[in-house]
């Protein structure tokens, strides 16, 4: 039977994020657009493929619900509650089913925004399979060279979706090129393959993509993007969670080699030219709205007044309540404490010089570009989280929008936008892959293979040098591992890594069971501040071994008649 292309007008509007189309699609009755009709028209077919970089809204509180923000892409990106607020990085001010994740109350019937990963991924994979079938059909309007490029792009998208399934669920069903119909045999959907087979499948998909993707492709997939995804996939595949806790040097070597391949392109480098001050250089990088030397693959947004192509209004969402913001994704004290002092020592080292009553002095430069803290000038005034009377405290405006922790997220936030200027907010690009991650991937994998060789030091110290931090030296393999883990924590903060990092390292049973701490700051009569770190910003934080993987959604288990195997413990 013919497949109707559902929501084709939505897909076409999404495509405006990537490039403009001259054809007036609204003159076409979407109910009459079969797969064959769409893929017989080069502009419609190309628009459909561009639309596969995003997905429809599946659940409440996902982007696309108010007409101004655009649907989800890969991962979560700039949404209301972000991935950082289901990890030990942040607490989301308005819950939105993040607290149940933090408290270990996940169930197959509800685990917040993460519960859409299964359905969204397989829906997108099916759409990719439709496109792969149709662009190779006799009626396809594309020449052979164009077909190769589009097919490579589709293999990249399919690999990305399978990776999202792998990192969330572990064992994953592989459907190949099948386009399931109502009368199809669905048993392949219930056959969850072991992790090594899934990794091999994703790697093969990426090899197909790498072979034919161009080096430059606007906001669409490139050779470098596919290589960067392969680097991430193989790093996960070598990690303890994915190997059953065994240390497989050959897998670590494959991960190191994949990162090396990206490095050897000699195409990417860390951004160092935005400001001579390391704080401002780092801050400005994340609000820069054009591709830089560090960017490998990113998603662009435009003001909602242009074409409805913005992200959520992230500045208002994460702004201070004293300025009309909503407190958003508030960094935990747990996270703040992991920024080193400027001398390179952790704050619990007696030689570090850390003073818990002057806690924000002389810290890693990335701290100042990542976190908003009491008395810091943010936007156009000092941030006031102190009590009593702080403008941004529970004593201030709209106390229900106060940060739960006393801190705000600074990374990604443009500070030149009025928080009432709705059309201008949410235009910061989301960076899926950047070169700093590749260096960290290499350092981690190569350290596991050979210990801290000069190449490992070069990779990690290139990142630290940009931050103005002391270079590492003289470490054992175990010490270097700890420093790399912490370097990922601070360098890649809020970029959707931490939740999965602590799981793949199998340290979540430690770090995710620590109390979710904030800070209480009291302003004394003489104007000085007293800091109390006993504040529990969210009670009941809990992690159990079963939480290393998501549960399969109950509705999918039920639809399979019980044939689909649930993850252990749920």
Q: What is the DSSP string of 137-149?
A: STT----HHHHHH
What's the rounded Cα separation, in Å, for the pair 267 and 216? 11
* Phi, psi (rounded to 5 degrees) for 45: -65, -45
Query: Which domain covers residue 120, as residue numbers?
Result: 52-261
Q: Are 213 and 159 in contact (CB under 8 A)?
A: no
77 in a domain, yes or no?
yes
What's the rounded Cα separation, in Å, for the pair 236 and 241? 8
Taking residues 518-539, report their average pLDDT: 98
On the question of a cis peptide bond just before residue 388, with omega within 30 degrees of 0, the verdict is yes
413 in a domain, yes or no?
no
pLDDT band at 520 (very low <50, low <70, confident <90, very high): very high
- Cross-strand bridge partners of residue 529: 523
Residue tagged 């108010």 (tokens): 66
* Phi, psi (rounded to 5 degrees) for 564: -80, 125
- The CATH number of whichever domain residue 250 belongs to comes to 1.25.40.390
pLDDT at 65: 56
What's the rounded Cα separation, in Å, for the pair 272 and 228? 21
CA proximity to 77, closest of 307, 306, 254, 301 = 301
84 in a domain, yes or no?
yes
471 in a domain, yes or no?
no
Q: Tens digits of per-residue pLDDT, 51-95?
A: 999 988 887 777 775 556 788 899 999 989 999 999 999 999 999
459 in a domain, yes or no?
no
* Phi, psi (rounded to 5 degrees) for 377: -75, 115
Q: How many independent structural domains does the chain possess?
A: 1
281 in a domain, yes or no?
no
pLDDT at 3: 41
Q: Tens digits of per-residue pLDDT, 83-135?
A: 999 999 999 999 999 999 999 999 999 999 999 999 999 999 999 999 999 99
Taking residues 273-277, report their average pLDDT: 98
Residue tagged 């201008």 (tokens): 424
What's the rounded Cα separation, in Å, for the pair 54 and 14? 7
147 in a domain, yes or no?
yes
Percentage of the chain surpassing pLDDT 90?
84
What's the rounded Cα separation, in Å, for the pair 99 and 297? 31
CA proximity to 167, closest of 121, 111, 211, 233 = 233
Whether residue 12 is predicted with pLDDT greater than 50 in this model: the reply is no
pLDDT at 24: 35
């Amino acid at each position: 039977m013919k497949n109707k292309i559902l929501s084709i007008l939505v897909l076409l509007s999404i495509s405006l994020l990537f490039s403009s189309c001259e054809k007036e699609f609204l003159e076409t009755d979407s109910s009459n657009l079969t797969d064959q009709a769409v893929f017989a028209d080069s502009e419609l077919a190309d628009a459909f493929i561009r639309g596969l970089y995003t997905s429809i809204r599946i659940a409440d509180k996902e982007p696309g619900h108010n007409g101004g923000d655009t649907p989800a892409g890969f991962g979560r990106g700039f949404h209301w509650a972000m991935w950082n607020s289901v990890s030990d990085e942040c607490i989301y001010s308005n819950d939105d089913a993040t607290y149940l994740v933090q408290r270990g109350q996940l169930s197959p019937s509800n685990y917040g925004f993460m519960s859409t990963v299964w359905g969204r991924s397989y829906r997108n994979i099916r759409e990719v399979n439709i496109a792969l079938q149709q662009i190779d059909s006799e009626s396809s309007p594309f020449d052979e060279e164009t077909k190769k490029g589009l097919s490579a792009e589709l293999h990249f998208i399919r690999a990305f979706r399978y990776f999202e399934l792998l990192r969330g669920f572990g064992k994953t069903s592989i459907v190949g090129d099948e386009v399931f119909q109502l009368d199809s045999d669905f048993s392949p959907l219930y056959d969850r393959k072991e992790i090594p087979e899934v990794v091999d499948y994703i790697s093969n998909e990426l090899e197909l993509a790498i072979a034919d993707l161009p080096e430059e492709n606007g906001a669409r997939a490139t050779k470098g993007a596919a290589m960067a995804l392969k680097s991430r996939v193989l790093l996960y595949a070598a990690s303890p969670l994915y190997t059953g806790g065994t240390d497989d040097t050959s897998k670590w070597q494959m991960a190191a080699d994949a990162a090396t391949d990206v490095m050897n392109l000699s195409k990417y480098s860390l951004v160092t030219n935005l400001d001579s001050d390391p704080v401002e250089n780092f801050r400005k990088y994340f609000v820069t709205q054009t591709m830089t030397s560090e960017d490998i693959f990113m998603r662009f947004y435009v003001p909602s007044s242009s074409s409805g192509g913005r992200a959520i209004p992230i500045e208002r969402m994460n702004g201070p309540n004293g300025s009309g913001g909503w407190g958003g994704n508030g960094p935990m004290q747990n996270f703040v404490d992991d920024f080193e002092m400027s001398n390179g020592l952790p704050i619990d080292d007696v030689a570090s010089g850390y003073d818990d009553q002057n806690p924000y002095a002389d810290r890693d430069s990335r701290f100042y570009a990542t976190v908003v803290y009491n008395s810091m000038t943010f936007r156009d005034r000092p941030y006031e989280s102190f009590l009593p009377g702080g403008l941004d405290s529970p004593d201030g405006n709209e106390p229900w929008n106060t940060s739960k922790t006393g801190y705000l997220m600074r990374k990604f936030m443009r500070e030149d936008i009025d928080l009432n200027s709705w059309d201008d907010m949410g235009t910061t690009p989301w960076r899926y892959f950047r070169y700093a991650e590749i260096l960290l991937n290499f350092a981690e994998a190569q350290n596991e293979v050979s210990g801290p060789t000069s190449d490992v030091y070069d990779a990690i110290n290139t990142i630290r040098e940009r931050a103005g931090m002391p270079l590492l030296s003289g470490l054992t393999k175990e010490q270097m591992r700890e420093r790399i883990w912490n370097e990922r924590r601070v360098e890649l903060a809020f970029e959707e890594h931490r939740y999965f990092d602590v799981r793949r390292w199998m340290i979540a049973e430690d770090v995710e069971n620590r109390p979710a701490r904030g800070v209480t700051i009291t302003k004394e009569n003489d104007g000085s501040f007293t800091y109390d770190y006993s504040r529990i910003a969210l009670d009941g934080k809990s992690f159990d071994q079963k939480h290393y993987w998501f549960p399969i959604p109950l509705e999918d288990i039920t639809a399979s008649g019980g044939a689909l195997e649930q993850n252990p413990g749920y």
